[in-house]
């Protein structure tokens, strides 16, 4: 169980890191849709945007979220499998939707300096890299 401070520290980060072993376990359970959640790193860990996780968690509801957490941290796969899968899918969907929103805003932006700032976000989202200016 996280303390309140640990919880605040976690959600204050822009990305969560899923350890390699957890990524492997989730891919075994849910397949390659797990990859849509974020960017795989060289060591096999995955960086997942915190805002996408929070929005996905809010959208699945408390009951489903509790079940999803249970299935994600354990090997119990029977009746609760669907909840974990729903959360994984939802994170990927939110991530793609946020990219599309960023792109639409970028394409319709009339102020060039704002477009540059929006492009930085798109770069980070697509390539997983915060390039220097």
Partner 1 sequence: MPKIDWKRLTRRAREHFYDRLRTREITEDDMAKLMDWISTNPEVPEGPWCKAFGTFKLVGHGATPGTLLTKDQPCFGEKI
Residues in contact with partner 1 by the rule CB under 8 A: 32, 35-40, 42, 95-96, 99-100, 103-104, 106-107, 115, 119, 122-123, 125-129, 131
Of 82 and 120, which has the nearer Cβ to partner 1? 120
- Tell me the closest approach of the beta carbon of residue 58 to partner 1, in angstroms: 22
Cα–Cα distances in Å, from 117 out to 65, 81, 92, 113, 133? 34, 40, 24, 6, 11
86/125 with CB nearer partner 1: 125
Which is nearer to partner 1, 38 or 84 (by Cβ)?
Answer: 38
Within a 10 A sphere around the Cβ of 47, how many other Cβ atoms? 16
Q: Would you put residue 3 in left (φ > 0), alpha (ψ -120 to 50) or beta? A: beta
């Amino acid at each position: 169980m996280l303390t309140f401070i640990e919880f605040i520290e976690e959600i204050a980060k822009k990305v969560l890191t899923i350890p390699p072993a957890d990524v492997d376990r989730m891919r075994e359970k849910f397949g390659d849709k797990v990859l849509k959640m974020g960017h795989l790193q060289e060591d096999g860990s995955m960086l997942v945007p915190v805002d996408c996780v929070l929005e996905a968690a809010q959208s699945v509801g408390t009951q489903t979220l509790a079940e999803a957490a249970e299935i994600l941290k354990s090997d119990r796969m029977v009746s609760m499998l669907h909840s974990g899968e729903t959360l994984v899918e939802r994170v990927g969907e939110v991530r793609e939707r946020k990219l599309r929103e960023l792109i639409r805003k970028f394409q319709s932006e009339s102020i060039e300096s704002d477009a540059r700032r929006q492009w930085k976000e798109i770069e980070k989202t697509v390539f997983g890299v915060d390039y220097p200016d």
